[in-house]
């Protein structure tokens, strides 16, 4: 049996072997696309452990839960093959690691260790409340813009006090007021947002010598994946931990730095060796993913950037098919050409799940979706963590959050009258006022509610019952008896869904939407069950359902957008270029290569932003294994007007022997109604609508933004959007009853 370095370096390139064999001192790995980065990183960790470094002393940080889970599983497998173990190894996302730090020492910086992590929806609710508290108008102060400004400040380690001191004009002073009110809401609810996880952990490491020393002593070896995506706060955290032992390995690619808009600082990787003077630099330029022509095309493009570290990009795979560059008359021709190529490749044996269509902005997806739908080609639009954002799931999670954090007023407001229990907006407002007066949470304030304070008898009764139900769930969830229940966490979640009234509420109607919501609630119970099965249990100290719920909610809050893409889906994936990072497909089409689209109009006059747009295009190209299609439309409809476009400068930059260019000019014609809805709804059809009953189609108007249908029902004429009307064809022989 091979042991140590020999076992981990078998079948690796010389550059990869160099990375794996490196165990101490600062190391910068410049990992190009498809360079086997994950394999190298995991084998390096396994090699360190095989050579005597305690897993307990190793910390590996990445950016998605999926990447962290994969890295951990691979390391465990590699070591098991050698009869070794990795118990004590920490592999986590930055946010989950910081959450763990704050669970241990949060009382020193935020006053509690039992905080709630607010997701995007919670943040929106809190910022709206903050704007109202500042007596400002949401029409003038957009919640999303205010949140973005606050997030940008936190990513630069600017707390509310510093922000207020530096505010110099009306805008920044107003944002400072909102920032202060927002922070007061978070602290009052014992809550933190995603940015706080990093900010507070960084502040704690800076201010508290005991905490800093403890983390330095434990994590003597630090490895960071996707280092080009780190922001200033993450740099401070990493540097604070690695400062003493200096055993830090960062892996990344400046050419794939595409997240400046959310705070990523490319300088972290470009200036790494300045921070650590004796840094060893190892470039991984060999691409194991893409064919020769695709690699050459990507190299031609990215060479035009100045902010980068030079590395030779090459592959030993065959040249393969030349990428196609199509210039079409309009966006409909462009979409049709992309669908045509997908159909052709499907006939040649390429699976739909191995195809992706990428675009710079979401608005481009509409015409693409129409084209795929009209040709009957299955597709899925990657929209992030949609499941946990659905209405019924947010409601159920809010109930669950109140069990672990009764001070969470945002969760409280979301469910106090959901389902309806006779507690109106006026009662909620009075309760909120009472809570503020007494410095209590809204749930705590319920104990003080009486009819004498202006509450109706019904609302008093309903509020008391609501609080009693929550209390009983808490008691039962932490009881010793609950430890013996099979699937205890799932049982608790299922009980909350049932006894909260959500199950009954969505069972009242037989519509498809309500049925889907019920199924989603059932899926939440399944998610809790699966989480419990994956959770490592100390048999001598078993966790109660309430303890498990605490970690489950943290897991849900930390799920990232990149985790939402399902690689098993038997459909073409439509997604933004940003969302495609880290993925790969046999066939990739990139639509909209036009000035103002890709590169985006915001980047046209700024060199730094233009370079990021070029990196974004580069990332898209390098997602392709075998087939690449690049396209642009010479006319594109914007804001209802068809405008002439200019081909992207990126086309000129990558044009060479590796590109096959075609110009297609066939004009697009809107398909006739008969073509689109053949054997379905046509003029004269008798149809059934679930609300209006049976009617007869009088007129259909085909529009590029959605067809409309006019139907004569017994109750009158209705004009409906055909796509959403869900009309059912009535069998021959049945006539409208009018």
Q: Provide the pLDDT for residue 724.
A: 65
Neighbours of 165 (CB within 10 A): 10
Q: Residue 688: phi, psi to the nearest 5?
A: -120, 130
Question: 342: which residues sit within 8 A by CB, 6+ positions away?
Answer: 352, 355, 357, 372, 377, 572, 587, 589
Out of 190, 193, 225, 491, the active site residue is 225
Among the ranges given (516-530, 554-568, 592-606, 681-695), the one the predictor scored with the smallest mean pLDDT: 554-568
Confidence class for position 195, pLDDT limits 50, 70, 90: very high
Tell me the per-residue pLDDT of 151-183, one tens digit each, with 9 for 90 and over. Answer: 989 989 999 999 999 998 898 999 999 999 999
436 is catalytic: no
Confidence at residue 642, expressed as pLDDT on a 0 to 100 scale = 65
The catalytic residue among 37, 72, 311, 414 is 37
**Tens digit of each residue's pLDDT (9 = 90 or more) over 24-82:** 999 999 999 999 988 999 999 999 999 999 999 999 999 888 888 889 999 999 998 88
What's the rounded Cα separation, in Å, for the pair 499 and 510?
20
* pLDDT tens digit sequence for 207-239: 999 999 999 999 999 999 999 999 999 999 999
Among 448, 443, 450, residue whose Cα is nearest residue 469: 443
Q: Angle 34-39-44 (CA atoms, 0-180°, nearest 5)?
A: 130
Known active-site residue 226? yes
For the chain, the average pLDDT equals 85
Distance CA(371)–CA(359), nearest Å, equals 15
pLDDT at residue 640 above 50?
no
Q: Is 623 a catalytic residue?
A: yes
How many helices and strands in the chain, by DSSP H and E? Answer: 31, 21
Cβ–Cβ under 8 Å, residues 160 and 180: yes
Query: What average pLDDT does the segment 672-694 reach?
Result: 65
Q: Are 299 and 253 in contact (CB under 8 A)?
A: no
**Which of 74-88, 96-110, 483-497, 553-567 has the weakest average pLDDT?**
553-567
Q: Looking at the predicted structure, is the pLDDT value of residue 487 above 60? A: no
pLDDT of 380 reads 86
286, 623, 625, 636: the catalytic one is 623
How many Cβ atoms are within 10 Å of 646's Cβ, its own excluded?
A: 11
Taking only the tens place, the pLDDT of each residue in 548-603 is 888 889 888 876 545 544 555 589 999 999 999 889 999 999 999 999 899 988 88
Q: Which residue in the list 16, 62, 256, 395 is annotated as catalytic? A: 256
pLDDT: is 382 or 440 the higher one?
Answer: 440
CA distance 516 to 507: 10
The pLDDT assigned to 9 comes to 55
So what's the pLDDT on residue 166?
Answer: 92
pLDDT tens-digit map of 654-675: 876 556 665 554 444 444 433 3
Percentage of residues of the chain with pLDDT beyond 90: 51
Confidence of residue 509 (pLDDT cuts 50, 70, 90): low
In terms of pLDDT, which residue wins out, 139 or 431? 431
Task: Name the catalytic one among 5, 13, 23, 38.
Answer: 38
Query: What share of the chain in percent tops pLDDT 70?
Result: 86
Residue 13 C-alpha from the chain's centroid:
34
Q: Is the pTM higher than 0.85? A: no
Residues 344-366: tens digit of each pLDDT: 999 999 999 999 999 998 778 87
- Tell me, yes or no, if 307 is annotated catalytic: no
Exposure string of 283-321, with b = 16+ CB inside 10 Å and e = fewer, is bbbbbebbbbbbbbbbbbbbebbeebbebebebebeebe
Q: What pLDDT was estimated at residue 721?
A: 66
- Residue 221 structure tokens: 């070896």
More reliable by pLDDT, 543 or 449: 449
Distance CA 518, CA 497 (A): 10
Residue 265 CA to chain centroid, in angstroms? 19
**256 is a catalytic site residue:** yes
**What is the average pLDDT across 423-444?**
90
């Amino acid at each position: 049996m091979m042991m140590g370095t020999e076992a981990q370096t078998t079948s690796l390139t010389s550059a990869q072997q160099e990375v794996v064999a490196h165990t101490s001192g600062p190391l910068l790995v410049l990992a190009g696309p498809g360079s086997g980065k994950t394999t190298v990183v995991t084998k390096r960790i396994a090699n360190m452990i095989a050579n005597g470094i305690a897993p307990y002393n190793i910390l590996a940080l990445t950016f998605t839960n999926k990447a962290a889970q994969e890295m951990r599983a691979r390391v465990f497998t590699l070591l098991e093959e050698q009869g070794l173990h990795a118990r004590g190894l920490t592999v986590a996302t930055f946010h989950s690691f910081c959450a763990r730090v704050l669970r241990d020492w949060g009382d020193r910086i935020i006053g509690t260790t039992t905080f709630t992590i607010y997701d995007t929806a919670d943040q929106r609710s809190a910022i709206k409340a903050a704007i109202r508290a500042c007596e400002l108008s949401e029409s003038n102060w957009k919640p999303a813009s205010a949140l973005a400004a606050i997030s940008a400040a936190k990513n630069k380690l600017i707390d509310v006090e510093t922000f207020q001191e530096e505010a110099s004009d009306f805008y920044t002073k107003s944002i400072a007021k909102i920032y202060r009110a927002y922070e007061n809401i978070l602290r009052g609810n014992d809550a933190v947002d995603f940015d706080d996880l990093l900010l507070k952990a960084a502040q704690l490491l800076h201010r508290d010598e005991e905490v800093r020393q403890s983390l330095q002593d434990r994590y003597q070896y630090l490895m960071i994946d996707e280092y080009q995506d780190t922001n200033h706060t993450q740099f401070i955290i990493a540097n604070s931990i690695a400062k003493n032992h200096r055993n830090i390995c960062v892996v990344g690619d400046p050419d794939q730095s595409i997240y400046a808009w959310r705070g990523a600082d490319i300088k972290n990787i470009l200036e790494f060796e300045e921070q650590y003077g004796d840094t060893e630099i190892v470039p991984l330029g060999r691409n194991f993913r893409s064919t020769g022509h695709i690699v050459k095309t990507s190299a031609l493009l990215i060479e035009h950037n100045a902010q980068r570290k030079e590395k030779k990009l090459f592959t030993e795979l065959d040249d393969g098919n030349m990428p196609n560059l199509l210039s079409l008359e309009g966006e409909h021709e462009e979409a049709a050409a992309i669908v045509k190529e997908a159909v052709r490749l499907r006939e040649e044996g390429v699976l739909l799940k191995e195809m992706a269509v990428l675009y710079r902005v979401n608005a481009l997806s509409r015409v693409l979706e129409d084209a795929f739908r009209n040709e009957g080609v299955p597709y899925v639009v990657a929209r992030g963590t949609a499941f946990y954002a659905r209405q019924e799931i947010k409601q159920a999670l809010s109930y669950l959050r109140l069990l672990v954090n009764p001070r969470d007023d945002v969760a409280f407001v979301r469910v106090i009258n959901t389902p309806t229990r006779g507690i109106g907006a006026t009662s909620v407002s009075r309760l909120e006022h009472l809570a503020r007066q007494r410095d209590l949470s809204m749930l705590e304030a319920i104990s003080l509610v009486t009819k004498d304070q202006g509450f109706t008898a019904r609302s008093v009764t309903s509020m008391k019952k609501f609080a009693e139900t929550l209390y009983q769930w808490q008691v039962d969830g932490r009881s010793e008896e609950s430890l013996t229940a099979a699937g205890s966490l799932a049982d608790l979640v299922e009980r909350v869904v049932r006894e909260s009234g959500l199950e009954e509420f969505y069972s009242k109607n037989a519509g498809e939407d309500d049925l889907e919501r019920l199924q989603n609630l059932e899926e939440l119970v399944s998610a809790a069950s699966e989480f419990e099965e994956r959770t490592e249990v100390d048999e001598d100290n078993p966790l109660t359902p309430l303890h498990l719920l605490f970690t489950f909610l943290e897991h849900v809050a930390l799920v990232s957008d990149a985790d939402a893409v399902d690689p098993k889906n038997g459909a073409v994936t439509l997604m933004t270029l940003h969302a495609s990072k880290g993925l790969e497909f046999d066939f990739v089409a990139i639509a909209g290569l036009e000035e103002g689209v890709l590169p985006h109009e915001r980047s046209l006059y700024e060199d730094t932003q233009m370079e990021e747009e070029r990196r974004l295009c580069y990332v898209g190209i390098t997602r392709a294994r075998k087939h690449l299609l690049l396209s642009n439309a010479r006319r594109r409809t914007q804001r209802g007007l068809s405008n002439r476009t200019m081909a992207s400068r990126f086309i000129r930059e990558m044009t060479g022997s590796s590109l096959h260019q075609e110009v297609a000019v066939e004009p697009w014609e809107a398909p006739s109604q008969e073509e689109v809805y053949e054997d379905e709804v046509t003029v004269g059809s008798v149809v059934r609508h679930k609300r209006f009953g049976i009617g007869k189609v009088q007129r259909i108007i085909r529009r590029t933004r959605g067809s409309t249908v006019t139907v004569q029902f017994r109750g009158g004429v209705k004009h409906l959007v055909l796509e959403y009307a869900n009309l059912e064809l009535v069998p021959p022989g049945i006539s409208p009853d009018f």
